[in-house]
Amino acid sequence: MARTEEELVFAKLAKSAIEGELTEEAIKVLREATRIAVEQVVFSGEGPLKDARNNIGFLLPPVTGGQPEQDDMDDAKSAIELWIEELEASL
């Protein structure tokens, strides 16, 4: 299980990855970030951070699974931004 500081590093890497070209490396980063967020959901209590992690689990897979629509990209970007905000607020 990642600590919040480590999770924040992955969230920021995910932000960089999704803002650039979706290369194979970017997709790997996004998949790893998704894994970490979903893993943390199991161990977190209720609240905005858990909701942000859940959103990552739902909104990033369509981006990493093939040819995402622009709406998928926009939703994933927003989810990552919120995830970062909630992680920073929890530190």
pLDDT tens-place string over residues 13-66: 999 999 999 999 999 999 999 999 999 998 888 999 999 999 999 999 999 998
Contact 84, 11 (CB under 8 A): yes
Cα–Cα distance for residue pair 44/39, rounded to 1 Å = 9
Cβ neighbours for 14, distance < 8 A, ≥ 6 positions apart: 29, 30, 33, 56, 60, 80, 83
Residue 89: per-residue pLDDT:
96
Question: Contacts by 24-29 with C-beta closer than 8 Å and gap 24+?
Answer: 27/64
Residue 44: per-residue pLDDT:
82
Residue 1: per-residue pLDDT:
61
Report pTM.
Answer: 0.95
